[in-house]
Amino acid sequence: MKEDYKKTDDGYEYKYPRAAITTDCVIFGFDGRYLNILLVERGIEPFKGSWALPGGFLKMDERVEECAFRELKEETSLEPEQIEQFGVFSSLDRDPRGRVVTVAFYALVKRTHVIGGDDANDARWFPIEDLPPLAFDHKEIIDEAMLALKRDLHHQPIGFMLLDEQFSMPELQRLYEAILGRHFDRRNFQKKMMASGIVTPTVYSESTGHRPSKLFTFNPLEYKKMKEENTNGKEF
Amino acid sequence: MKEDYKKTDDGYEYKYPRAAITTDCVIFGFDGRYLNILLVERGIEPFKGSWALPGGFLKMDERVEECAFRELKEETSLEPEQIEQFGVFSSLDRDPRGRVVTVAFYALVKRTHVIGGDDANDARWFPIEDLPPLAFDHKEIIDEAMLALKRDLHHQPIGFMLLDEQFSMPELQRLYEAILGRHFDRRNFQKKMMASGIVTPTVYSESTGHRPSKLFTFNPLEYKKMKEENTNGKEF
DNA sequence: ACAAAAGTGTTGTAACTACACCCATGT
DNA sequence: ACATGGGTGTAGTTACAACACTTTTGT
């Protein structure tokens, strides 16, 4: 690849002005009842001390997906299996430091993955209905992430990433209700999940709450089969 | 907004290296039988003389959507009602000129909109099954656009942008079949379209082909209603 | 004992699939 | 006359929505 810049004493010189590129990551978690988002406290200006999405500047030797993954690991020590790109935000005044275009991703992680505060900044979960004031246009990015998540929930096996390997049907249902913001009938919900083939029953759990719950697991084989039939499989 | 660069005699200097940002646009058209894509012949290196998606570099005073729209107008004189952002492409070696990250959009236009060759470069429609060799990673971008279009077809009223205001049911069906790559039963297709409320019948047309066809129009009112009910409306 | 959570089945309705014949037009 | 395209209805099946009672456990 040709070099498209001239290295000077103070930096890098380009013929035309360029926007900077960042990535930001909306990390969803589930506490059994509410959908949560992971935010980091900014340690530097601008917006020092306020909460923001984990993210940062694109390096020259990485793709945007790699950048999102790297920044996420640096700031929260999380390494999700999968991240989904869902939008680009490029308003002229979205960053007071200058012209910054951000590529936004979302990911889903199990809340059992504890956040290691390995750098100075704090990282905390917030229920999505009760977010603190956010830096930049990050509220808008979260709103878009929420729409993308609702869109994708039925067509990609992403919900299961928020739960333990084994989960009860009420847990799964509460998750769907938290994401989609509506209520389902228990019996119909279970019937549909079973009919789609995306979950398989395992065994009864020891009781932790009230009555013992039957446990299920996500069925990746069935999902793979559904993807291979170009006849778009059932939704789940 | 603060200035984040230093103006030099030869250009613009930044503290850290930056990728350039471009937009590229996949324009879909429909000739009554096949799905087509609008390509422009490149007039300059790299890839001079080969076919490429219309697009170009982001300016400092515009958002990516505006950039895509402006470049499209400059290169093809098209001004679609709507463009959809569907992906970001950032492989390190995708552009021989240097590090270039592109934001990809798709749009749908009526083929009756003739292409004005207002700049030197040629612009031509190609059937999607018979594309010429393409510049950069534009083949990959088109493949992703195709997936995004298939995803969106049933949930946004985009198909109708490819047809005249009035269209026959067989026309609409051929369009759906071209996009989704499968065949539908005529009667079931019509029933579903009518039941969704997205189309309304008008009158019989004068015959242009074989038998006169009943004509329909897209029903934006019904679509608006569906969007307002948060109960995700029927698909179409 | 009482409250809260979770297991389980049936029935009516709406949507989807499969399928065949006739008519109008152009050649 | 023939080939092509396009109009139209019905019946079987599958998915979806609505609905109540019983069991277990914790307090």
Q: How many angstroms separate the CA atoms of A12 and A5, rounded?
A: 6
Residue A130 near residue B35 (C-beta atoms within 8 A): no
Cβ of A56 less than 7 A from strand C: no
Q: pLDDT of A48-92, one tens digit each?
A: 999 999 999 999 999 999 999 999 999 999 999 999 999 999 999
Q: How many helices and strands (H and E) does chain A possess? A: 5, 12
Question: What's the pLDDT at A236?
Answer: 93
Count of beta carbons in the 10 Å neighbourhood of residue B14:
21
Residues of B in contact with A94 (CB under 8 A): none
How many angstroms separate the first and last alpha carbons of chain A? 45
Interface of B with A in 102-161 (CB under 8 A): 103
What is the average pLDDT score of chain A?
91
Do B17 and A5 count as a contact with CB atoms less than 8 A apart?
A: yes
Cis peptide before A127 (omega within 30 of 0): no
Residue A80 near residue A35 (C-beta atoms within 8 A): no
- Scanning every residue of chain B, which has its alpha carbon at the shortest distance from the alpha carbon of A10? B15
Q: Which residue is closest, via its CA, to the C1' of D23?
A: A211
Beta bridge partners of A134: A51
B10 at A interface, C-beta within 8 A = yes
Question: pLDDT-based confidence at A3, cuts 50/70/90?
Answer: confident
Question: What's the pLDDT at B139?
Answer: 98
d(CA A154, nearest CA chain B) in Å: 12
Nearest to B61 among A65, A92, A101 (CB): A92
In this predicted structure, the answer to whether residue A114 has a pLDDT above a threshold of 70 is no
Q: Where in chain B is the domain with CATH 3.90.79.10?
A: 17-153
Interface of A with B in 162-191 (CB under 8 A): 181
Cβ of B234 less than 7 A from strand C: yes
In this predicted structure, the answer to whether residue A157 has a pLDDT above a threshold of 70 is yes
A8 at B interface, C-beta within 8 A = yes
Q: Which two tokens stand for residue B39?
A: 């390509």
Rounded to 5°, angle at Cα A188 from A186 and A191: 110
In this predicted structure, the answer to whether residue A146 has a pLDDT above a threshold of 80 is yes
Q: How many angstroms separate the CA atoms of B175 and B203, rounded?
A: 21
Question: What's the pLDDT at B13?
Answer: 97
Q: Where in chain B is the domain with CATH 1.10.10.10?
A: 165-228
What does the pLDDT average to over A130-142?
A: 98
**pLDDT tens digits for chain B (236 residues)?**
678 999 999 999 999 999 999 999 999 999 999 999 999 999 898 999 999 999 999 999 999 999 999 999 999 999 999 999 999 999 999 999 999 999 999 999 998 766 655 555 689 999 999 999 999 999 999 999 999 999 999 999 999 999 999 999 999 999 999 999 999 999 999 999 999 999 999 865 554 556 667 899 999 988 888 777 655 678 89
Query: Model-level pTM?
Result: 0.94
Exposure b/e, A43-59, CB count within 10 A at least 16 = b: eeeebeeebbbbbbebb
CATH superfamily of B17-153: Nucleoside Triphosphate Pyrophosphohydrolase (3.90.79.10)
Query: Which nucleotides on strand C sit less than 7 A from a protein beta carbon?
Result: 3-10, 15-20, 23-26
Cβ of B213 less than 7 A from strand D: yes
Beta bridge partners of B124: B39
Q: How many angstroms separate the CA atoms of A169 and A177, rounded?
A: 12
Residues of B in contact with A60 (CB under 8 A): 17, 19, 99
Q: How many angstroms separate the CA atoms of B26 and A210, rounded?
A: 55
Nearest to A4 among B13, B93, B97 (CB): B97
Angstrom distances, CA of residue A5 to CA of A1, B58, B109: 12, 17, 38
Q: Which residue is closest, via its CA, to the C1' of D10?
A: B187
Question: What's the pLDDT at A25?
Answer: 98
Residues 20-79 of A with CB under 7 A from strand D: none
Out of 3.30.465.10, 3.40.309.10, 1.10.10.10, 3.90.550.10, select the CATH number for domain A165-228. 1.10.10.10
Q: Which two tokens stand for residue B168?
A: 């026959």
Residue A52 near residue A38 (C-beta atoms within 8 A): no
Cβ of B210 less than 7 A from strand D: yes
A99 at B interface, C-beta within 8 A = yes
Residues of B in contact with A10 (CB under 8 A): 6, 13, 15
A63: which residues sit within 8 A by CB, 6+ positions away? B90, B91, B92
